[in-house]
Amino acid sequence: MSDTIEADICVIGGGSGGLSVAAGASQMGARVVLIERAEMGGDCLNTGCVPSKALIAAGHAAHSIRTADQFGVSAAEPAIDMGRVRDHVKGVIASIAPMDSVERFEGLGVTVLQASARFTGGREVTTDSGQVVRAKHFVVATGSRPLVPPIPGLSETPHFTNETIFDNADPIGHLIVVGGGPIGVELAQAHRRLGAQVTVVEMLDILGRDDPECAGIVKQRLRAEGLTLLEGTKVLSVSENGSGVTVSVERDGERSELSGTHLLIAAGRKPNVEDLDLPAAGIEHTARGITVNSGLRTSNKHVFAIGDVAGGLQFTHMANYHAGIIIRQTLFKMFWAKTDQSAFPWVTYTDPEMAHVGMTEAQAVEALGEGGVRLLRWSFAENDRAQAEHATHGLIKVVTDKKGRVKGATIAGPHAGELIMPWVQAIAGKQKIGAIAGLTFPYPTLGEVSKRAAGSFFTPALFSERTRKIVRFLLKF
């Protein structure tokens, strides 16, 4: 006979979003069951954000050694030990893992079931170990996994995805990356800095979701570091050869072959829904993920979906944002709590970083018309701190309406992920550009690029002939 557990909230998936719901709800007094079939912490901790940033940090260290000459410090080609790099990555994961562990969540009062789950009714799931969970609310937080495209020969050819590449301890001679989105580009640059030759193959535009001008700054740096970027290039087939892999591609109607030692597939993500038996609970879904309304409720009013599996922007901080909405809806009956992505930021952790919030230039022109947009720019080359650190390759680009209300910002430059926050606050607070221009930033900091860009909104009026006439008149008194 199966065990039956009654709960207020049953969370399926122990990634960032699921853990946030489980921890918050339990500490606020709800009876919570958390079901996770694999590693606690999900993709972010084990195969995504955490290991990738650890690998990027290793690549940054190697790059700093190579380029130390610019500061009058003797440079050298660093000795790369990929086994130790892997150990560093695994060590970072291990240092964070206790915060996401079964033991911690059981200590918070959560009932943790290490099993797979499938819906067996509108308000019931059954695990593969025979336990039945009935709950007032269900939260599906099963995340996503790498999308492996149907490339001829791929199933017979050894290849990495983000789920396997962080286990690698062997030197990589030439890494061919299929996919030019943030995951592919971040890992491409990191491996280039760790000594590999790298070729990135993208069917459309590399970093095509971001502002083209700022993405161009990143791509310029990648090429300068020796990466080969093939845009508008279709992969026809892949195969294993004696020393590695061969990738057949087509570009501008011409076919050619690329030879490498290793292959990384970074061609997007796929929601984890197959094993849930969603129809048994009347939950609608598409290839993009589970269909939800603005309150993250599915077609079954007792079931919510959050994070990657909900089919929207796929970021850890989006899943955590979703978790807060679920807490408000289920525990505090704030049924008006809805998602609002107007001030949602994201970062691509290349060097230089690229961060974005709000509208791009193209989106603002489409929404407000050509004459309704003011575009503000400031180069990192005009920032004293950037000059001192030889980090002048970058640009901040701000979009406002004609009245100066901030609509969007993109930063391509050092520490862009940190520098974007004043613009997130400005958009969230529906502030005008003067709110940033009027701030006092410490000198010398990279953050001054935000003040300078904001101040440039007032430059045409401030230094106009009309202003000069007013000043000359007032100086007579």
On the question of pLDDT at 1 being above 80, the answer is no
Vertex 436: Cα angle to 433 and 441 (nearest 5): 160
Whether residue 220 sits in one domain with residue 193: yes
- With cut-offs at 50, 70 and 90, classify the pLDDT of residue 2: low
Q: Is 476 a member of any domain?
A: no
Whether residue 435 sits in one domain with residue 362: yes
On the question of pLDDT at 328 being above 60, the answer is yes
Whether residue 250 sits in one domain with residue 137: no
Predicted pLDDT at 242:
85
Whether residue 11 sits in one domain with residue 135: yes
Domain end: 332, 363, 384, which one? 332
On the question of pLDDT at 170 being above 70, the answer is yes
Q: Is 453 a member of any domain?
A: yes
Whether residue 323 sits in one domain with residue 188: no
Q: Is 162 a member of any domain?
A: yes
Q: Is 213 a member of any domain?
A: yes
Total structural domains within the chain: 3
Taking residues 362-389, report their average pLDDT. 96
CB-count burial class (<10 Å; 0-12, 13-18, 19+) for 102: middle
Whether residue 120 sits in one domain with residue 237: no
Whether residue 366 sits in one domain with residue 328: no
Q: Is 140 a member of any domain?
A: yes
Q: Is 83 a member of any domain?
A: no
Taking residues 173-196, report their average pLDDT. 98
pLDDT 10s digits, 273-301: 999 999 999 999 999 999 999 999 999 99
Amino acid identity, residue 182? P
Percent of the chain with pLDDT over 70: 100
Taking residues 358-385, report their average pLDDT. 96
Q: Euclidean distance between the first and final Cα of the chain, in Å?
A: 96
Q: Is 304 a member of any domain?
A: yes
Whether residue 134 sits in one domain with residue 13: yes
Predicted pLDDT at 283:
98
Question: Which range of residues forms the domain containing residue 105?
Answer: 4-40+101-145+270-332
Q: Distance between CA atoms of 362 and 410, rounded to whole angstroms?
A: 12
Q: Is 313 a member of any domain?
A: yes
Residue 241 maps to which CATH number?
Answer: 3.50.50.60
Secondary element (H or E) of residue 303: strand 303-305
Taking residues 175-189, report their average pLDDT. 98
Taking residues 200-211, report their average pLDDT. 97
Taking residues 227-249, report their average pLDDT. 96
Whether residue 449 sits in one domain with residue 362: yes
Whether residue 432 sits in one domain with residue 350: yes
Predicted pLDDT at 19:
98
Taking residues 71-88, report their average pLDDT. 97
Residue 434 maps to which CATH number?
Answer: 3.30.390.30
Predicted pLDDT at 465:
87
Paired tokens of 288:
């993009």
Predicted pLDDT at 7:
98
Taking residues 109-119, report their average pLDDT. 97
Taking residues 155-174, report their average pLDDT. 97
Averaged pLDDT score across all residues of the chain? 96
Whether residue 303 sits in one domain with residue 264: no
- With cut-offs at 50, 70 and 90, classify the pLDDT of residue 322: very high
On the question of pLDDT at 405 being above 60, the answer is yes
Predicted pLDDT at 103:
98
Paired tokens of 282:
């009347």
Domain end: 268, 290, 310, which one? 268
Domain end: 304, 332, 360, which one? 332
Whether residue 425 sits in one domain with residue 447: yes
Looking at residue 380, the DSSP 8-state letter turns out to be G
Distances (CA, A) of 360 to 123, 311, 381, 417, 476: 42, 21, 22, 16, 46
Which residues, other chains included, contact 107 with Cβ-Cβ below 8 Å and sequence gap of 6+?
Answer: none
| Burial readout 224-233 (b: 16 or more C-beta within 10 A, e: otherwise) | ebebbbbbeb
